[in-house]
Structure 1
């Protein structure tokens, strides 16, 4: 028995190498000594078929099935011979069906049957086997790819795309099947985009118009700096939201839907009173540019023009802030689109791929690497890697290695992505802003922007705008009265009716904010300096008062009185009465407004 077992394995090894000449004598001896062994007859049938002797192969396989009617491989081979060499599909199918009964979990064999039937253009039978293969082993990529080919032939492009993506996802090997699956996915997606209705977003758009109470216009714009952007009506003093997009981008419907989901998230956050605005002040920009001094010096040595250097540095600031704000929010948006709009997936696939390639070039281009600060480039690469991780999770296509990331960069990207995964399945309104802040802090770029509650920001902006206008034109001679200014006028009149000087109130709000972060001793110093000026009298008609302790600023009379009163209220409250300024109501209202 041991000798026969050794001869059997030797025969199998020789057959795998195609060395049939040496294998056949050993196998014939095994059959002579064991004529009832089904597998020995099956192997001989395989050899004879490969040698082109199909009739003798069939005889050997009949012997194999005589001794074991459920010999799965013998049944498959009989089916293959009748399908390939006899062109007898009806007989082949009988053997294939018996093979499927004998081993319903053989995904490989079942798929091979399906491929043969597909090549014979027997789509109905091929689909049955493809489905059986997927059911037998959902992780076997060939079954999904076969189903994609069949669906494509039947012009069911959606099913073809979905099955192809599934084939990519379950294929752990970067083999020829993987390459063919990726190519098939792109080909099918392009045909879907080219041949379907271009108004996928209309129903969703109308839903958001109803929920948000504001109309939305979609506009082509080749001049915008990004592929697409949304302009919220409130930020532009318009009656409508605008979604702008670059028309030459592939699958622009995805870009439009992306911006609409952004609006959807904002509507949700506003209803909860939690919407945040992303702002960057000149001080933020100065802080960032301060870190670029070595880069600027390097560009000077490269004879780069000053204007180009300024443009480059400001572009770095704006670009990094765009990534800091958009990347976490975009992850939630793309996850939402993938799960709620499956018909959009081919568009999403093509569009995200194009954007990912742009991001890849931006952090791996030799010229960019030469000119950009390594620290900034690294942070940008990490944000791009997070996008690549999501693309791989959604569609199975992995571009992560193409970024040439360091182990530390990849580890950080994976950490950020893991935090997103903790949030994504039960995201609550405005939680995406937590990731914006957390990730910026992790990457140490949070000094370059602020997130501020929208309601509070707009209240403060209204007050700041009024103060600025009051200083520039105290008598309103140049006013172009807008809706917001009318509301402010109404508020002023209501306060005047109860004896409140609104000019002083608003200047006090400014003063409270100015003094907020100053040490008490510094406030007291300013208080005494203004008191010295007050001893000589403060004329409310004068507009050019200068306070030495507050450089680069000129004060109007009312503005100086407001700073006078507030500084004493904060630093020397016990002597406030000595100023003889009856601004108790004004200070109380200003305090409420500054804390709103």
Structure 2
């Protein structure tokens, strides 16, 4: 087959070479029309280019060539060798036949004959990069002649200066021979050409480890993971290297001093001492006990000694204190509270599950303890997960020297979370809803770990599509907050995520300033009047009411009265109308002596152990008449019609 082109502007239009550069054009045409080892003949005159392709030989020898390659890949050199010799005899001008025979001979251990074949390959095509590479390998590995090997390796750079794989292979051979400095030269060139080739990143981590540079080994191994989309052997080796180099780094870095320096700084900020101690009986890897919650003059950090990189655990808990201190300084700190009423709701939601356990012979006390553990566990996740993301961000960005500690510590906790939501016996004995929501929280942590260290442990959790999508949506909200987070805003995420996961009925977030104002007598009085929290307001409903009222803040109404009215509607609704009427008259009697909105301590005989503030009394007064005596409501002359209409909407939330 002959192909002829006229040398004109159009020729340089269809072939991407520099206009008028005949040498570049010849090289490009040979590469373009080469098929396997079959290189065309290119003749260039002043006016025309003639390309001659021996299609008969390609058709005749192509099958034999493919068979030869296949036999070599299988390692069947007994059949491959005579076939290669046969092809060389028929077409001695094809460089690749000589190169393959040289490879066969080298694998058989005959390095001298292999060299002769490779020389023949290079005589026919001095740009045969694989022949050059093999020559370098033979002189490096078998002749221990690095100087000669380097001549061939350097020629690969001349022929294919942009072939990162060839460069990587040269570096690998030199590294195996212990020549790390020369190896680095090739690895660095390879990574410059293709920074997304994971083999080279891993090779750089190996070189760094050989040089006892564990910081670079850690960095390169994480890069190898980052650019490797496959969970293959290379990924596994890179992951192991990251762990091993991180472990060696934690032994060489004084992480304890970093933590102690931060603790000293934090003591000055919060004006209280900080103590740290081991406690292997705590339910989590670590915890902080704020001084104010334990009536102490110091904050106490506890951690389990069995966890890796405990310096990170302590730093993490100290960051909890820093966030709380920052929020407290602007009066935005909130406390996460649970009580008997909220726990009862949780237990009631799992009544059927508990009944099934009982039918299986599980003792009631054991069931109660298990439900308590579930309640405590899911509440810990509700509170900690969003806050922990901000904390890990701070540690990562502010203390790069602690990254190896953070990596190992977070890895251990995420793997613990994987086991807690995928282990068959746990899955079998955990309520489906709670297990799924716990997994979503764990997935959020895994997403953050991936964003920091590129290690993807998401699929290890075996999430459903719905669980993964919800975790991603919640994490996306965190990313939006992270951009310009203000003190105390982390509590908004706690509320939002709990609402989205329908877990907001099991806790209460209250302003710390409000809680601290209570005296011991106040707390005891509350317990005595409502020991099981039966009359307490559902915190999730209260939060929804507040949001609803905020959305109507442009209206001229009293939001406090509207909220109290919503509570009054829920209180009176189950009652017989006659009973509500009786209460309406009692409130009317109270109103005859006047109700001051700004005073507390009002009461009526039929609602025992209940004290009303002024606005609450007015709200109940109005609602009782609106339900029992609507035709006489106008006679009360109470200006709360808008509040009542809004309250009725609130009760439907």
Q: What is the deviation of 1:313?
A: 1.1
Name the counterpart of 2:257. Answer: 199
Structure 2 residue 142 is the aligned partner of structure 1 residue 92: no
SS in 1 for 2:258: coil
User: 1:320 & 1:521 partners in 2: Cα distance?
Assistant: 30
In the alignment, is residue 390 of structure 1 matched against residue 448 of structure 2? Answer: yes
Moved more, 242-251 or 403-412: 403-412
Q: Secondary structure at the match of 2:509?
A: strand
Deviates more, 1:30-39 or 1:216-225: 30-39
- Tell me the CA shift for residue 13 of structure 1: 4.0
Give CA deviations for 1:24-78 in whole Å, capped at 9, x if unaligned: 5665566567655544443343233233332232223233334544432222111
Q: CA deviation at 1:468?
A: 5.1
Return the offset for 1:295.
1.7
- Which of 232, 241, 247 aligns to 2:305? It is 247
Against the structure 1 CA distance between its residues 310 and 98, is the aligned structure 2 distance closer, same or farther, given a 3 Å change threshold?
same
Does structure 1 residue 518 correspond to structure 2 residue 573?
no
Match of 2:192 in 1: 135
Q: Is the 1:520–1:571 Cα contact (8 Å) retained in structure 2?
A: no
TM-score by length of 2: 0.71
| CA deviations over 1:390-424 (Å, ceiling 9, x no partner) | 33443344443343333322332233233334444
Secondary structure, in 3 states, of the residue corresponding to 1:218?
Answer: strand
Contact 2:253 2:401 survives alignment (8 Å): no
Counterpart residue number, 2:374:
316
Q: Is the 8 A contact 2:562 2:619 kept in 1?
A: no
Alpha-carbon shift at residue 516 of structure 1 (Å):
7.8
Q: Distance in 1 between matches of 2:243 and 2:98?
A: 46
Give the total of aligned pairs: 520
Deviates more, 1:421-430 or 1:160-169: 421-430
Residues 283-298 of structure 1: matches in 2 within 5 Å? 283-298=341-356
* Match 1:234 to one of 269, 284, 292: 292
* Whole-Å separation in 2 of the counterparts to 1:47 and 1:569: 95
Q: Residue 183 of structure 1 corresponds to which residue in structure 2?
A: 240
- Are the equivalent residues in 1 in contact too, given 2:127–2:159 (CA < 8 A)? yes
Q: CA deviation at 1:461?
A: 4.4
Other-structure match for 2:430:
372
Structure 1's 468 and 164: CA in aligned 2 closer, same or farther, altered over 3 A? closer
- Which residues in structure 2 correspond to 1:269-288 (within 5 Å)? 269-288=327-346
Distance across 2 between alignment mates of 1:347 and 1:424 = 23
- Counterpart position of 2:132: 75
Instruction: Quote the Cα distance in structure 1 between the aligned partners of 2:373 and 2:458.
Output: 25
Q: 2:56: which partner in 1? A: 3
CA shift, 1:374, in A, is 1.4
Partners of 2:125 and 2:265 lie apart in 1 by: 65
Residues 304 and 134 (structure 1 numbering): CA distance in 2 closer, same or farther, change over 3 Å?
same
How far off its partner does 1:154 sit? 1.4
Aligned partners of 2:267, 2:57: CA distance in 1, in Å?
79
- 1:171 corresponding residue in structure 2: 228
Over aligned residue pairs, what C-alpha RMSD do you find? 3.7
**Is 2:395 aligned against 1:333?**
no
In 2, Cα distance between equivalents of 1:266 and 1:222: 25
Q: Say which is worse superposed, 106-115 or 40-49, in terms of deviation.
A: 40-49
- Decide which of 460, 469, 473 is 1:411's aligned counterpart: 469
Whether the 8 Å contact between 2:568 and 2:620 is mirrored in structure 1 is no
Superposed displacement of residue 139, structure 1 = 1.7
Give the one of 348, 351, 366 matched to 2:409.
Answer: 351
Instruction: Look up the SS of the partner of 2:438 in the other structure.
Output: helix
- In 2, the alpha carbon distance for the partners of 1:302 and 1:329 equals 39
Query: Aligned residue for 2:322?
Result: 264
CA distance in 2, matches of 1:224, 1:511: 44
CA distance in 1, matches of 2:618, 2:231: 73
Looking at structure 2, the residues matched to 202 and 393 of structure 1 have their Cα atoms a distance apart, in angstroms, of 27
Aligned mate of 1:154, from 198, 211, 217: 211
Contact 1:325–1:436, Cα closer than 8 Å, also in 2: yes
The change in CA–CA distance for 1:526 and 1:36 in structure 2 (over 3 A counts) is same
Moved more, 320-329 or 342-351: 342-351
Displacement of 1:527 in angstroms is 7.3
CA distance in 2, matches of 1:306, 1:114: 67
CA distance in 1, matches of 2:485, 2:428: 40
Question: What is aligned with 1:15?
Answer: 72
For 1:436, which of 490, 494, 505 is the aligned residue? 494
The Cα shift of 1:317 comes to: 1.0
Q: TM-score, normalised by structure 1?
A: 0.77
Q: What SS does the corresponding residue of 1:451 show, helix, strand or coil?
A: strand
Q: In structure 2, do the counterparts of structure 1 residues 374 and 107 end up closer, same or farther at CA, with 3 Å as the change threshold?
A: same
Change (3 A) 1:45 1:568: closer
Q: How does 1:528-543 map to 2 (within 5 A)?
A: 528-529=585-586
Change (3 A) 1:571 1:59: same
Q: 1:133 to 1:535 in 2, by over 3 A?
A: closer
* Equivalent residue for 1:301, pick from 355, 359, 369: 359
| Residue matched to 2:43 | none
Instruction: Report the CA distance shift for 1:104/1:334 in structure 2 as closer, same or farther (over 3 A).
Output: farther
The equivalent residue for 1:458 is: 513
For structure 2, list consecutive stretches of 5 or more residues without a partner in the other structure: 1-53, 529-559, 573-579, 594-601, 623-653
CA deviation digits over 1:406-451, x for unaligned, max 9? 3322332233233334444444433333322222122111111223
Secondary structure at the counterpart of residue 463 of structure 2 = coil
Describe the shift of the 1:526–1:74 C-alpha distance in structure 2 as closer, same or farther (beyond 3 A): same
C-alpha deviations, 1:157-185, integer Å up to 9, x for none?
A: 12112222222232222222222222233
Which whole-Å CA distance do the structure 2 matches of 1:21 and 1:412 have between them? Answer: 59
2: CA distance, partners of 1:177 / 1:520: 63
**Which structure 2 residues correspond to residues 488-527 of structure 1 after superposition, within 5 A?**
517-519=567-569
Q: What's the counterpart of residue 567 of structure 1?
A: 617
C-alpha change, 1:206 and 1:129, in structure 2 (3 Å) is farther
* Cα separation, 1, equivalents of 2:328 and 2:527: 33
